Amino acid sequence: MALVVVSPSNVVNFPDGGGHFWVYMQYAHGLRQLGCDVYWLERVESPSADGRDYSRDFREQMARFGFAANVILYSENDGKLVYQGLSETQAEAIFRTADLLLNFHYAIHPALLSRFRRTALVDIDPGLLQFWISTGQLEVAPHDVYFTIGETVGTPSALFPDCGLKWIHIRPPVCLDLWPFINRHDAESFTTVSSWWGDEWITDGSTVYENNKRVTFMNFARLARLTDQPLELAICDGPGDVEDLRLLKEHGWRVRHSAEVAGTPEMYRAYIQGSRGEFSCAKPSCMKFQNAWISDRTLCYMASGKPAVVQNTGPSAFLPDGDGLFRFSTLEEAVASFETINTNYEKHCRAARGIVEACFEASPVIGSILRSALQ
């Protein structure tokens, strides 16, 4: 079977991001399920800012997933690539023999990209990526194939340019063997794991707006007072977020730091499996672009048999609204979703799992990626 190198972005240098790790492990594990020889290639900052040996910790983490011998980490020194744990000759030999580079690192060094005979870019920020490219805020080196998880990318209904590229639509894969159905009727809270403030702004001509999760969550701060359903946020917050967190708690939200409950891949999975369901908002750009985006995190909840109540990011040809997945735009719609779910909780747990089995199971999704990328 094919030798595939997967190139994620900012996993090693985000050691407390258990959920971020899962974004890419779904692809790596799914490829291996199909019989591929899979390597993980990632750029790292060396040394780390706080003195921790992130690379060592990451290798131990990868070993737990069976990838101990298949990690290639590199840094850049005056434009030269410096590899960790293997020689340049060894790394280059893997690159030359690889059938495909599946690249999620939009700013990958063009010289590294050129070492592969076949390359595919995977867009997991639909709308945003195309906006960044079209406005010159991001320069992406040419790839052979372009994939996107955005349902509207490159279609007549898109509210953003296609950048002159042919986009192939895929769905975020979920490895169902790693995300089993967990029946927990005693679980209380609808939860989510989220970033909070990333100092991300959208500048489009004279229009400027903050594109952080805090904006949309704060718009729904009153929700916890309007429902009997306990709501909990596990967020990556900082010292400047004290006032936001105080307001959320005053409105009845439970708030925890994401590193404490989801700081490793195993903790992240356990936190989701111990939840009653997910409630989450999306970044403002998702509503602005109407990209029909659904989070890989939401799919992990649903695969685990946890119904999801998430912000509506635009019309979808295949995402349902009800029976396991509820897409809200108003406070009233969110409240009604909780009431519907809790009236027949078991039904919606099974429906959530069924949606993922039907639309997002890793093997068919990744099989389609391979066929399109290697044809």
Please state, in angstroms and rounded to a whole number, the distance separating the CA atoms of residues 174 and 203. 33
Instruction: Beginning with the edge strand found earlier in the chain, give each strand of the sheet holding 277-280 in spatial order.
Output: 254-257, 231-236, 190-195, 277-280, 308-311, 325-328
pLDDT at residue 203, rounded to an integer: 81
* Token duo for residue 155: 């279609």
CA dist 39 and 5 (Å) reads 5
Give the whole-angstrom CA distance, residue 122 versus residue 237.
28
Cα–Cα distance measured from residue 296 to residue 57, given in angstroms and rounded to the nearest whole number: 24
Claim to verify: residue 200 and residue 168 sit in the same structural domain? no
Kindly state whether residue 326 falls inside one of the protein's structural domains.
yes
- pLDDT at position 195 over 80: yes
CATH number for 78: 3.40.50
Q: Give percent of the chain with pLDDT exceeding 70.
A: 98
Cα 182 vs. chain centroid, distance in angstroms?
Answer: 21
Q: 41-55, 98-112, 177-191, 360-374: lowest mean pLDDT where?
A: 41-55
Question: What residues make up the domain containing 321?
Answer: 190-359
The amino acid occupying position 43 is R
3-state SS, residue 216: helix
pLDDT for residue 204:
76
| Structural domain includes residue 109 | yes
Per the structure, the count of domains in the chain is 2
- Do 343 and 222 lie in a common domain? yes
Same domain (yes/no): 139, 77: yes
Token pair for residue 42? 């990632």
Residue 108 inside a domain? The answer is yes
Backbone torsions φ then ψ of 83, nearest 5 degrees: -95, 150
Q: What percent of the chain has pLDDT over 90?
A: 86
Assigned domain for 323 exists: yes
Here the tokens at position 241 are 């977020």
Q: Coil, strand, or helix at residue 308? A: strand
224 and 318 together in one domain: yes
pTM of the entire predicted model = 0.96
Q: Length of the chain in residues, anyone?
A: 375
SS3 state at 138: coil
- Backbone phi, psi, residue 60, to 5°: -65, -40
When pLDDT is averaged across residues 287-293 and rounded to a whole number, the result is 94
Q: What confidence score (pLDDT) does residue 185 get?
A: 84
Q: Tell me the residue type at 2.
A: A
Whether 183 maps to a domain, the answer reads: no
User: How distant is the alpha carbon of residue 180 from its chain centre?
Assistant: 19
pLDDT tens digit sequence for 98-130: 999 999 999 999 999 999 999 999 999 999 999
Q: Is a pLDDT exceeding 70 seen at residue 48?
A: no
308-329: average pLDDT: 95
Q: Is residue 180 part of a domain?
A: no
What is d(CA 364, CA 355) in angstroms, rounded to the nearest whole number? 14
**Residues 254 and 245 sit within 8 Å (Cβ to Cβ):** no
Of the candidates 244, 226, 245, the residue with the CA atom closest to the CA atom of residue 331: 226
Q: What is the CA radius of gyration of the chain?
A: 20
Q: 299 and 365, same structural domain?
A: no
Is 121 found in the same domain as 14?
yes
Look at residue 144 and tell me whether its pLDDT is greater than 90. Answer: yes
Structure confidence at residue 76 (pLDDT): 86
Contact partners, residue 115, CB within 8 Å, separation at least 6 = 92, 95, 96
151 in a structural domain? yes
